[in-house]
Structure formats: structure tokens, C-alpha cells
């Protein structure tokens, strides 16, 4: 088994992206049981900068910081109760969102941005599924009312987050590759 060390650059980028998640995640507009937050946008940026695995590490750091009580979740809330409450499934779903989005972003260069969008949509779909199933179980609700409360109102906002993430992310990724801070895409 090969012993791989994590570089200082990698640790710094993971920490920086976790910090960006902590800054963007609390910014939200309450519109029901699930607020509109910039958490999804932050997760997409993690995927652009770090790729799937390192992005998941930054996401988990963000979730752990919130779990121990730092006010990094929507509405400047924190604590384990937030992860076990109605939005908890969506927060945990961020892990899958970053993993899937990051995979597509890593595999395709920025000139194939439409593949990034496909990855972000698929990642969001898995996040929605995970979060909605958890919400249904916790709130003892059926599928249609749960989708009406937790997914449908957020589709336009999340479409805008995907568009913004694609524009910012492609430019950011290009700059970071040129600065040799992150590797170029990992095509097969």
C-alpha cells in the first residue's frame, strides 16, 4: 500500500474552501421549512476548486464545524440538532452533491462547461432525493407534499446557483490551473 501524504497546498485549499462554505452557508432567505441558502453555491465552488474527493473533505469539515455548534448553517444556526432536523438530510446530501459534481468537473475541461452543468444537476438530484427522503421520514409526510415543501420552490433558485457556479467556477478553475494551484482536468 502506497503512503500518500497530503500536501500543505491541499490542506490549505481544503481549509479555505471549508471557510468559504462557512461564510456562504449561513446566508439564507426563509421561505418555509427549508430556507433558500447559498450553501449549494458554496458546494459547487468546492467541486470546482477541489474536485470530488478533496471537495468532500472540505464539505465534511464544514458539516463538522456546524455540528459542534458554529453558526455556519442557514440562518446562522449550528449544532447537531440542525443535522438531525428537517434540513439535515439536505446538509448530508451536500456530500453527494460535491462528489458527483466534482467528478464531472474534474473529468471535463472548462470548454465543456455543459458537462459540468450535467454533473451539478445530477449531484443536486441526489441531494434532493437524500434530503427529501429524510424529510419525509422525520416529518411523517408523503412524497408530493414533501416535494412541494422542499424541492419545487427551490428549483428556480438552484438553477440560478448552477448558472452562477458555472460562470464563476470555470473562470476560477482556469486561473487556479494557470497558477499551478490545482491540476488540469483528469480525462481518462
Nearest one of 70, 40, 66, 45 to 55, comparing CA atoms: 45
Residue 2 maps to a domain: no
| Average pLDDT score over the chain | 93
187 within some domain: no
Of residues 43 and 185, the one with the higher pLDDT is 43
Whether 135 is in a domain gets the answer yes
Domain of 62, CATH number, reads 1.10.1760.20
d(CA 34, CA 75): 10
For the chain, the domain total comes to 1
pTM: 0.92
- pLDDT of amino acid 11: 93
Q: Is residue 169 part of a domain?
A: yes
Whether residue 105 contacts residue 113, with contact meaning beta carbons closer than 8 Å, is answered with: no
Can you give the residue range of the structural domain that contains 19? 8-178
In a domain, 183, yes or no: no
Instruction: Place 179 in a pLDDT band, splitting at 50, 70 and 90.
Output: very high
pLDDT for the residue numbered 185: 65
Q: What is the pLDDT of residues 88-103, one digit of tens each?
A: 999 999 999 999 999 9
In a domain, residue 186? The reply is no
Amino acid at each position: 500500500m502506497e503512503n500518500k501524504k497530503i500536501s500543505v497546498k491541499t490542506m490549505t485549499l481544503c481549509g479555505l474552501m471549508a471557510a468559504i462554505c462557512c461564510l456562504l452557508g449561513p446566508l439564507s432567505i426563509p421561505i418555509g421549512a427549508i430556507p433558500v441558502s447559498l450553501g449549494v453555491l458554496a458546494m459547487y465552488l468546492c467541486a470546482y476548486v477541489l474536485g470530488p474527493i478533496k471537495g468532500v473533505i472540505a464539505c465534511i469539515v464544514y458539516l463538522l464545524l456546524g455540528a459542534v455548534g458554529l453558526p455556519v448553517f442557514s440562518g446562522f444556526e449550528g449544532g447537531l440538532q440542525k443535522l438531525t432536523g428537517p434540513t439535515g438530510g439536505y446538509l448530508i446530501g451536500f456530500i453527494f452533491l460535491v462528489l458527483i459534481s466534482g467528478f464531472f468537473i474534474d473529468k471535463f475541461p472548462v470548454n465543456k462547461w455543459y458537462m459540468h452543468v450535467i454533473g451539478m444537476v445530477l449531484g443536486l438530484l441526489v441531494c434532493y432525493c437524500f434530503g427529501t427522503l429524510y424529510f419525509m421520514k422525520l416529518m411523517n409526510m408523503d412524497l408530493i407534499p414533501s416535494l412541494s415543501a422542499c424541492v419545487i420552490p427551490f428549483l428556480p433558485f438552484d438553477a440560478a446557483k448552477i448558472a452562477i457556479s458555472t460562470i464563476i467556477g470555470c473562470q476560477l478553475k482556469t486561473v487556479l490551473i494557470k497558477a499551478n494551484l490545482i491540476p488540469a482536468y483528469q480525462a481518462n
